[in-house]
């Protein structure tokens, strides 16, 4: 049984940065291999991990639904999709990545999400740790894509609006009675000079603030030069912050 970590929050709050650095620290702590899942239609976790994307669930479904990949004799559609998903895993030395991709036509995610739940549950059994980067917003929670999670990190930027959005994620998780054991708030791009003003809003969310991630020019430099964030040096302030968060959460 894998230990499942998920990251959720509104767009632009540093979900992918947090996911990639969680994976970095898990690998560094010897908790490998890690199964990474990019469940965001805006695929970019592979760039942060330095992995090439071989394919996505949505791409596979488009090809199969349009008979571009005919079913082999004696194989059902679901069996064939499962076979192709295993083929599409982007494999690294210590990390394997599964990518959801965009909608498979007419904006529909239903079939892809149903498959995602099944494949994630099946594939994660082969890894000690799974880290899922969820799409922005709340819809993935209402579709119950984020399930059977040991720790959910809810991200916010350093704004009152972001903090309130994180609080709504907590409310939805509780209303849907999702199988999530622990929830924590992580605030990114923090300016210490103004952070104290957000504390009343943080208290209103009912979430435990497990840590903050500072502004770091090196992260912006890596993004600008398309360098994998997983290769940030040990002395990076954001690396130290994520390591502290994982330690407090008793993950490493």
Q: How far apart are CA 60 and CA 113, in angstroms?
A: 13
Q: What percent of the chain has pLDDT over 90?
A: 54
Of 133 and 135, the structure prediction assigns the larger pLDDT to 133
**pLDDT of 106 strictly over 50:** no
Listed range (34-48, 75-89, 97-111, 218-232) with the worst mean pLDDT: 97-111
Q: Residue 129 in contact with residue 26, Cβ under 8 Å?
A: yes
Q: Which fold has domain 3-248?
A: Rossmann fold (3.40.50)
Listed range (64-73, 79-88, 132-141, 148-157) with the worst mean pLDDT: 132-141
Between the alpha carbon of residue 238 and those of residues 20, 220, 234, 245, the distances in Å are 11, 11, 9, 10
**Stretch 32-42: mean pLDDT, rounded?**
88
**pLDDT of 96 strictly over 50:** yes
3-state DSSP helix/strand/coil % of the chain, to nearest 5:
45, 20, 35
- Cα angle value 211/237/97 (rounded, 5°): 80
Listed range (13-22, 38-47, 177-186) with the worst mean pLDDT: 38-47
Phi, psi at 187, each rounded to 5°: -105, 125
Domain boundaries, the chain: 3-248
The whole-number pLDDT of residue 147 equals 63
List of E strands, 10-110 = 34-39, 90-91, 95-99
- The structure tokens listed for 233 are 């040096």
Which candidate, 127, 147, 164, 166, places its Cα nearest to that of 18? 166
């Amino acid at each position: 049984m894998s230990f499942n970590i998920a990251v959720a929050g509104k767009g632009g709050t540093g979900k992918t940065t947090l996911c990639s650095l969680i994976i970095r620290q898990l690998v560094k702590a010897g908790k490998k291999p890690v199964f990474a899942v990019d469940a965001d239609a805006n695929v970019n976790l592979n760039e942060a991990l330095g992995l090439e994307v071989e394919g996505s669930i949505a791409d596979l479904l488009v090809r199969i639904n349009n008979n571009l990949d005919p079913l082999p004799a004696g194989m059902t559609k679901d069996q064939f999709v499962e076979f192709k998903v295993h083929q599409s895993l982007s494999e690294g030395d210590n990390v394997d990545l599964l990518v959801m991709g965009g909608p498979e036509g007419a904006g529909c995610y239903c079939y892809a999400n149903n498959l995602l739940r099944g494949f994630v549950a099946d594939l994660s059994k082969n890894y000690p740790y799974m880290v899922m980067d969820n799409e922005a917003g709340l819809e993935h929670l209402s579709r119950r894509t984020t399930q059977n999670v040991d720790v959910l990190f809810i991200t916010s930027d350093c704004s009152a609006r972001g903090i309130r959005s994180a609080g709504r994620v907590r409310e939805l998780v509780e209303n849907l009675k999702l199988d999530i054991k622990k929830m924590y708030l992580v605030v990114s791009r923090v300016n210490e000079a103004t952070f104290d003003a957000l504390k009343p809003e943080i208290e209103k969310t009912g979430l435990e603030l497990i840590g903050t991630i500072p502004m770091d020019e090196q992260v912006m430099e890596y993004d600008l030069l398309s360098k994998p964030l997983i290769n940030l040096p040990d002395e990076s302030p954001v690396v130290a912050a994520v390591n502290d968060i994982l330690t407090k959460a008793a993950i490493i």
